[in-house]
Structure 1
Amino acid sequence: MDVDGGGNKRVFHRLGGPQSDPSKNQKVCFHWRAGKCNRHPCPFLHRELPPPPSQQGLNGTASSKRHHAFAATTDGPSARNRGPNNFNGGASSTWGRTGGTRVFVRKMEKVCNYWVQGNCSYGDKCKFLHCWSMGDSFSLLTQLDGHQKVVSGIALPSGSDKLYTGSKDQTVRVWDCQSGQCLGVINLGGEVGCMISEGPWVFVGIPDVVKAWNTQTNSELSLSGPVGQVYALVVGNDLLFAGTQDGSILAWKFNAVTNCFEPAASLKGHTLAVVSLVVGANRLYSGSMDHSIRVWSLETLQCIQTLTEHTSVVMSVLCWDQFLLSCSLDQQLKVWVATQSGNLEVTYTHKEEHGLITLCGMHDSEAKPVLLCACNDNTVRVYDLPAFSERGKIFSKEEIRSIQVGPGGLFFTGDGTGQVKVWKWVADPAPTA
C-alpha cells in the first residue's frame, strides 16, 4: 500500500494511570459524594472503594492477551479477536439491579466552552467541567489529531505496534503506539464506513469495495462485490462478512493457496442498509436501517430468526456470554437471551434520553465487565454490567462513532471532529483493613 509520510508531535504515553497516593486517608470524601468538594488536593478519596473480594468480578481475572480483552463465544481460530463487539464477562441475569453496586455522583455535566478554547478565567472555581470525562475509574492519556472528518473505524492488528484509524475524510492513518506519531496517511478515494482487524489483517469498508491489508507481508487486496457503502465488517467461522448499503451481507473465504479472498455467499433479507454485525454462539447477528436484527446460522448461512422490537435503526450489536445486546436510535438498549426453544427474547430494556450509536464491552482494572454506550448527544455513558449502574461519562465536541479496546486497560474513541482519544482504566486503591 502507498503511504504518505505524516507527523504528529503528541506523545502516546503508555505508563498507565495515576497511582494511588498511600498518604491519602482510605475514606471516601463526603463532599465529593455530594458533588461539591472544592479541596485541591483533598485528603480523602474521590472514588468509591471496591467491594470485598467475594463480590469482585464476574470473570475473576483480567485477560493478559494483546487487545483480545475477552474470550469470544465462538469456537475455532476465527473467534480470536472480536474487539468491542464480543466479550465474556460471566453469566448473570440480574439486569438493571443496582443493589451493592458503585454510586456515580452527578455534577455539572457540561464541558466549559472557555476551557476548551484555553481562556477560562475561573480556573478551579468554574462550575463547568475542565476535563473530557467524569468519574475516577479511567483517565485520558493523549489525543491523536490529523483526521479532518468523523473517525469511522479503529483497529489494532495482532502482532503489530501500529494503530490504524479510518475516517470519512477518505483516509486511513497509521500511528506508532509508542510515540503517538502519525507514520503515514493512506488515501483511499472513498469514505471509510468501517474498519476491523483479524490477526495480521486490516479490513476497511469503502463504497463498493473492501480493502484488505496484511500488516506482516505488506500485501494489499481489493474485494469487489458490495453495492454502495460498506458499513460493517466481522469475521466468523473463517469467513469475512460485510454489511452493505443495499441490505446484503456478503461473505468471502480466504484461500491460502492463491492468497486471495474468494466470494462465498450473499445473505439476503434486510430491506435497507446493514450497519452492524457481530458473531457469537455460532451465529451471525446483523442490525439494519430497516429497524430489525436478523439471526443467521454460521453453518448454513440461513436466517433463523428476525427480531423487530426496535423502532429505529439498529446501530450496534454486541455479544456478552449467552446474551445479545443491541442499541438503536430509538433511545433503547435491549438485552436478549435465548429461550428453551432457541429463539431470542428481550430480557431487559435500558432507556437513554438520546439515541444510541455504538456499544463496546471490556473489563475495568478489577476485571469487572463494563459497557461503553455512545449516544448522539456527544457523550459516552460507562456502565457496570449487568446492573447498569453508571460509572462515568466521556464528553466530546461531536458524536463518538468508534470505540476500540486496546491492550493493558487501554481503549480508544474517535469522534466527529476527526480526533482520536486514548484512555486507560485506573487501578482502584486497595481498601484498608
Structure 2
Amino acid sequence: MDLDGYKGNNKRVFQRLGGPSAPGAVPSQSNQKVCYHWRAGKCNRFPCPFLHRELPPPQPGAAGNGTHPGKRGFTGDSGFSGRRTGNFNNTWGRGGSSNGSNAGNSNNRVVGARKTEKVCNYWVQGSCGYEDKCRFLHAWSLGESFTLLTQLEGHQKVISAIALPSGSDKLYTGSKDETVRVWDCQSGQCMGVINLGGEVGCMINEGPWIFVGIPNIVKAWNTQTNTDLSLSGPVGQVYALVVGNGLLFAGTQDGSILAWKYNAATNNFEPAASLPGHTVAVVSLVVGANRLYSGSMDNSIRVWNLETLQCMQTLQQHTSVVMSLLCWDQFLLSCSLDKTIKVWAATESGNLEVTYTHNEEHGLLTLCGMHDIEGKPILLCSSNDNTVRLFDLPSFTERGKIFAKQEIRAIQTGPGGLFFTGDGTGQVKVWTSVAEPTPAA
C-alpha cells in the first residue's frame, strides 16, 4: 500500500515573506524602524519602507548552501546524549495562540529572511543570472543554526530509511529502489550496494544489528559477525521497526505488529508474539516509558504494555494517517497527514491525553528529535510541501527550514550535531548544527 495515495490536495504554494520586490532592493537607510507586521510574520508590502530584520545580515558562508570547507566526510565528535531535557509541562507552544492554532506564529519566523520562501529553479539548474539579487533562494535551507556538509548521490528512488549504528564509521541508507547503500563516514564515499529484491520500507540499528523491512520479510545483519538472517512472518510491506524490552517489533501492511526475541544459543530471532488491533497498515512504532506506541493508517495510536504486550489505550484524536511518533522527555509526540503535531501527556489515571496541538498548512510525514550544539532540544518535522521545519522545544518557535526537490521521508540524527535527510529523488543530505550568531551590541 503506497502512502502517496493519502496525500490528497495538501500541496500548496509556499507562503511568501514580506520584503523588497525589486531584486537587490533594501529598505531605506533613513528609516531604521523594524516592521511591526514583519515581526508578526504577515507583512505583504512590496517594497516595505521598514526593516525586515533584527540582526545584521549573515556573514558569507554562514548559510547552509554548500559543502562545509575542508570537510568531505561527516564524522561527528560525540554521540547524541538522549538526556532528559526538563519538565515541559504547560509550556508547549508558548508564544503562540492558546488554542494551539498558532495563527501567525507557525510560519515565517526565520530571523533575517527577506526572500521568497522558494528555491530558485534556475539556481538548481546552475543557470540563474541574478545571483545574490534573485528574489528566490539560492540555498537548500533558511536558518543560521545549521549548515549543509555534503550530498550523497546514488539511490534512484525515494529514501525511506537512514541508519547510523553507534560507534560505527558507516552510514546505511535504504530506498524504494530496492537497495541499501553503505557510506564511509570519513570520505562520504559509497562503499557498497546491497540489492534486496524488494522496496525498503524501514530500517533501524540496535547494537551491532541492522534491521531492514521489505515486503514479507525483515532482514537482520550483524555488522560485527557478518551474520545475515531473514525473519519471516510479515504480510505485505514492513513499514516500521523498533526494539524494546529485548524484543524486535515490526509494523506491517496488514495491520499486525509482530515480535521476535533473539536466541543466543541458536544465533537466530524466534517469533515471540503478534499484536492485533489495528485494522490497516501500521506505519510508525516507538518505545518509551515501558510502553510500545503504534501509529496506523486507521488514524489511531495504540498504547501497549511492554511486559504483557496488551493494548492499554487507543488514541483517536487524529483524523488521518499517523505517520510518525516520537518520545521526548515524559511526552509522546505524533504527527499526521491531518496537518497536526499532537503532544500527549499522562494524566493521574495513567492515560494519555493531548496537552498541545500544533497546526501546519500541509500534511506531516516524519518527526525526529535532537539537541543542538548548545544542548537545546530541537524537533525536526518534514511535510509534504517538500520541506523540513526545525522547531525549538517546547515553544515550537521555528528556527529554520530545509527545502528539497521532493518530499523528505527519512530523517536521522548522528553524533556531534549531525543529522541526515533523504528525499524522493534518492538524494541524501548531511547537515550539522552550528552556533547561532550573537546579536550585535
TM over 0.5: yes
In 2, the alpha carbon distance for the partners of 1:65 and 1:114 equals 37
In the TM superposition, residue 292 of structure 1 has moved relative to its aligned partner by 0.1
In the TM superposition, residue 42 of structure 1 has moved relative to its aligned partner by 5.7
Tell me the residue number matched to 1:392: 400
Tell me the residue number matched to 2:110: 104
In 2, the alpha carbon distance for the partners of 1:333 and 1:67 equals 27
Tell me the residue number matched to 1:238: 246
Tell me if the contact between 1:247 and 1:273 (Cα under 8 Å) persists in the aligned partners: yes
Deviations 1:120-139 (A, max 9, x none): 00001001000000010100
In 2, the alpha carbon distance for the partners of 1:202 and 1:112 equals 38
- The question of 1:275 aligning with 2:271 is answered no
Tell me the residue number matched to 2:168: 160
Q: Which of 105, 128, 133 is matched with 1:125 structurally?
A: 133
Matches within 5 A, 1:122-271: 122-271=130-279
* RMSD (CA atoms): 2.6
Secondary structure class of the residue paired with 2:197: coil
Q: Which of 72, 82, 86 is matched with 1:90 structurally?
A: 86
Matches within 5 A, 1:329-348: 329-348=337-356
RCO comparison, higher one (Cα < 8 Å, 6+): 1
Tell me if the contact between 2:80 and 2:371 (Cα under 8 Å) persists in the aligned partners: no
Secondary structure class of the residue paired with 1:196: strand
In 1, the alpha carbon distance for the partners of 2:58 and 2:331 equals 43
Matches within 5 A, 1:319-398: 319-398=327-406
Secondary structure class of the residue paired with 2:123: helix
The structure-2 alpha-carbon separation of the partners of 1:40 and 1:280, relative to structure 1 and needing over 3 Å to count, comes to closer
Q: Which of 70, 83, 90 is matched with 2:82 structurally?
A: 70
The structure-2 alpha-carbon separation of the partners of 1:116 and 1:300, relative to structure 1 and needing over 3 Å to count, comes to same
In 2, the alpha carbon distance for the partners of 1:124 and 1:36 equals 17
In the TM superposition, residue 90 of structure 1 has moved relative to its aligned partner by 2.0
In 2, the alpha carbon distance for the partners of 1:351 and 1:42 equals 33
Tell me if the contact between 1:360 and 1:373 (Cα under 8 Å) persists in the aligned partners: yes
Deviations 1:65-90 (A, max 9, x none): 9544414xxxxxxxxxxxxxxxx322
In 1, the alpha carbon distance for the partners of 2:275 and 2:189 equals 40
In 1, the alpha carbon distance for the partners of 2:257 and 2:382 equals 25
Tell me if the contact between 1:160 and 1:215 (Cα under 8 Å) persists in the aligned partners: no
Secondary structure class of the residue paired with 1:371: strand
Consecutive aligned runs of 4 or more in structure 1 exceeding 2 Å deviation: 29-43, 64-69, 101-107, 428-433
Tell me if the contact between 2:80 and 2:370 (Cα under 8 Å) persists in the aligned partners: no
Paired residues in the alignment total 371
In 2, the alpha carbon distance for the partners of 1:67 and 1:186 equals 27
Structure 1 stretches lacking a partner, 5+ long: 1-28, 47-63, 72-87
In 1, the alpha carbon distance for the partners of 2:152 and 2:226 equals 24
Deviations 1:110-158 (A, max 9, x none): 0000000000000010010000000101000000000000000000112
The structure-2 alpha-carbon separation of the partners of 1:124 and 1:267, relative to structure 1 and needing over 3 Å to count, comes to same
Secondary structure class of the residue paired with 1:115: helix
In the TM superposition, residue 178 of structure 1 has moved relative to its aligned partner by 0.3
In 2, the alpha carbon distance for the partners of 1:135 and 1:319 equals 25
Matches within 5 A, 1:274-293: 274-293=282-301
Q: TM-score, normalised by structure 1?
A: 0.81
Deviations 1:306-354 (A, max 9, x none): 0000000000010011100000000011000000000000000000000
